[in-house]
């Protein structure tokens, strides 16, 4: 995997080139639904966020999500890996980091919207291999949409200690 680190978009300096690249990339994925104004609104008002993988200058991967505290589920709805970084395990690492963050932050579940593309299925299979290590079980799998919902296994819920953020490696 290309050397980089994880950070939340909400923590990136808004004057930086990295923040601008994130806005540009996320809005280009679906410009109709994600213009830069909506991304900023989602960050500031709706409290959505995006876990990004970067070398500090360029965006290598992004995992946008809605931390829905009312339902207690962190809902990931977008996964992006730059073309030059594909095939290096970044998507899997981002999903695993997202799952760890969600449960360490007190969410009862995590929703991964992976889709039914070959790459979405590959990431889903790779992440599912990590579920035992993470202390997770599947709550729901929708084969049509590719949505996967994980919950913490009851044993892990009982043994849960204080909240720890696994953001930086």
Cα separation, 51 vs 118, whole angstroms = 22
Cα separation, 26 vs 35, whole angstroms = 8
Q: List pLDDT tens digits, range 98-116.
A: 988 988 898 888 887 666 6
Going edge to edge, which strands form the sheet with 109-113? 5-8, 49-54, 59-68, 73-81, 109-113, 147-152, 136-141
- Per-residue pLDDT band for 41 (boundaries 50, 70, 90) equals confident
Q: Is 91 helix (H, G, I), strand (E, B) or coil?
A: helix
Residue 44 lies in a domain: yes
What's the domain count of the chain? 1
20 lies in which domain range? 5-159
Residue 140 lies in a domain: yes
Residue 82 lies in a domain: yes
Cα separation, 98 vs 94, whole angstroms = 6
Residue 109 belongs to domain with CATH number: 3.40.630.30
Q: List pLDDT tens digits, range 68-90.
A: 989 888 988 888 899 999 889 89
Residue 167 lies in a domain: no
């Amino acid at each position: 995997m290309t050397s980089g680190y994880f950070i939340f978009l909400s923590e990136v300096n808004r004057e930086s080139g990295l923040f601008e690249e994130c806005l540009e990339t996320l809005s280009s994925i679906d410009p109709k639904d994600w213009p830069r104004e909506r991304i900023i609104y989602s960050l500031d008002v709706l409290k959505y966020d995006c876990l990004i993988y970067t070398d500090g200058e360029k965006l290598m991967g992004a995992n946008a999500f809605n931390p829905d505290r009312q339902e207690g589920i962190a809902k990931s709805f977008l996964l992006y890996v730059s073309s030059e970084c594909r095939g290096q395990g970044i998507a899997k690492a981002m999903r695993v980091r997202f799952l760890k963050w969600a449960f360490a932050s007190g969410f009862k579940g995590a929703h991964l919207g992976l889709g039914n593309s070959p790459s979405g299925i590959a990431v889903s299979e790779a992440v599912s291999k990590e579920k035992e290590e993470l202390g997770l079980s599947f709550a729901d799998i929708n084969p049509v949409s590719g949505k996967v919902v994980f919950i913490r296994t009851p044993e892990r819920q009982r043994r849960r200690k204080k909240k720890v953020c696994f953001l930086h490696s």
